[in-house]
Amino acid sequence: MSLPPQLRKVAPTVWELPVSYKDGMLVPARIIATEGLLAGMEAGVFEQTANVACLPGILKYAYCMPDGHWGYGFPIGGVAAMDPMNGVISPGGIGFDINCGMRLVLTSLTEEEVRPRLHQLVDLMFARIPTGVGCTGFVHCSRSEFRQVLEKGSHWCREKGYAWPEDLEMTEEGGCFGGADPDAVSDKAIERGFDQIGTLGSGNHYCEIQVARPKNIFDAATARAFGITIPNQVVVMFHCGSRGFGHQVATDYLQSFLRVMTAKYGINLPDRELACAPFRSPEGQAYFAAMKCAVNMGFANRQVILHRLREVFSQVFHRSPEELGMRMVYDVAHNTAKLERHLVDGTMREVLVHRKGATRAFGPGMAGIPDCYRETGQPVIIGGSMETGSYLLAGEAGAAATFFTTAHGSGRTMSRHQAKKMVRGQKLLGEMEQRGIYVRTDSWGGLAEEAGFAYKDIDLVTAATEEAGLSRRVVKLVPMGNIKG
């Protein structure tokens, strides 16, 4: 693919499109990438990042992370900070799966202990954690009680016995975005979500048993601080979000914003998918409150999955989760909008940060992360494909330039349709098992969509975040077993 001729290199891993690139741009657009990653990006990434730069109230730059690829409205990997007084909020800058995120859980087990029981573990995980489109969970709450979940997030899980107190401390924002208002949510969204707590869903969502081998540790001191303390230690990582509930919230407000964006507020943008409303408007505040409900549902969903995982490991190894050391490293979201304080042109101020397929990466000493991570920086979890591995990283001070944001995953290199044309799910399953990766899925097509070749090289993506000063690599985590929808 030929790169836009106006694109210029402004730092070793920073590429910029000037405001002259497209009519309506208010700030430059910046792509964080190495030359190799940049060359593999779709033309749509540059167009969408430039479109984001047209949003009213945007500050400094529109960003795209090294894993960036074409998305709805924003590119996946897109980041934009808005002035909350005169800027907008856009569902396309957050995504349909609101609070899709990552959670990493330790064990005190080694690969040598887990390998003989791997099939038993994965089979039981697959039986206990519902996967696939439309799946429902074991938590049976009424629609009225579901509204409490939307307000309380992980705190509801603690009240019901699904969480340890320390789980909330190790979750972004304590597992709850304050200000969620269930009255801002449609009945249809409630109907789609009230029975989906504790479910993995489909697509690129997964729950994976992984191993931290000594040869894959980049920063031994930080790895110890994060709980990686024994050779070949086994951990569990999972990736999911707010399921059909979040999708409906996004759908409802996209339609609402399309009705008022131009007719009421006179906002004209180059892409309808960036439909937005002024953040301080009634419509903008209603969406913000509804989005927080979906964020809290996502936190509760992952918390209940962790509860199930602890049950599974306890049953297989005949020890309590406490004895198995099944404590959290961290839970971090990558599809949200948040009010945060950042330094902008020498002044500390409140800004509204949209992160769409991008991860918060607070650096050492920053408020808002657990005290035990103040010296290391926030744990950052970047998921790779089910064939290649994932990374645990730490936030860096250099991420201030991107409003303390880094990549969220590998990033796709081809569509799901293309991937399914290139490999059969059954064949892929057999090849992975020959390499020591045992997978259970309820969809052969869904498995083929997630083949490793459909994604960028996770090693290159995480190396780029480190070179850019956004997050530094701590340890690569290699897959052993995986369940998928």
| Residues annotated as part of the active site | 408
Is 390 labelled a binding residue?
Answer: yes
DSSP, collapsed to helix, strand or coil, labels residue 188 as helix
The residues, any chain, with a CB within 8 Å of residue 453's CB and separated by 6 or more, are 413, 414, 419, 422, 423
Is 204 labelled a binding residue?
Answer: yes
d(CA 153, CA 272): 32
Is 206 labelled a binding residue?
Answer: yes
Is 484 labelled a binding residue?
Answer: yes
Is 175 labelled a binding residue?
Answer: no
d(CA 283, CA 286): 5
The residues, any chain, with a CB within 8 Å of residue 99's CB and separated by 6 or more, are 241, 242, 246, 294, 295, 296, 297, 298, 299, 333, 335, 336
Q: Where are the alpha helices (DSSP H) in 134-242?
A: 143-152, 154-159, 165-169, 187-193, 220-225
Is 408 labelled a binding residue?
Answer: yes
Is 410 labelled a binding residue?
Answer: yes
Is 111 labelled a binding residue?
Answer: no
Is 334 labelled a binding residue?
Answer: yes
Q: Where are the alpha helices (DSSP H) in 53-160?
A: 111-114, 118-128, 143-152, 154-159
Is 386 labelled a binding residue?
Answer: yes
Whether the CB-CB separation of 162 and 309 falls below 8 Å is answered with no
Is 328 labelled a binding residue?
Answer: no
Q: Which whole-number Å values give the CA distances from 478 to 20, 103, 384, 430, 481, in the listed order?
A: 44, 16, 10, 18, 10
Is 335 labelled a binding residue?
Answer: yes
Is 232 labelled a binding residue?
Answer: no
Is 253 labelled a binding residue?
Answer: no
Is 384 labelled a binding residue?
Answer: yes
Residues in the chain: 485
Whether the CB-CB separation of 390 and 206 falls below 8 Å is answered with no
Is 409 labelled a binding residue?
Answer: yes
Residue 201: half-sphere exposure toward Cβ, Cα within 13 Å: 24
**Binding site for Mn(2+): which residues?**
97, 205, 239, 334
**Binding site: which residues?**
97, 204-208, 239, 334-335, 383-386, 390, 408-411, 484
**Binding site for GMP: which residues?**
204-208, 334-335, 383-386, 390, 408-411, 484
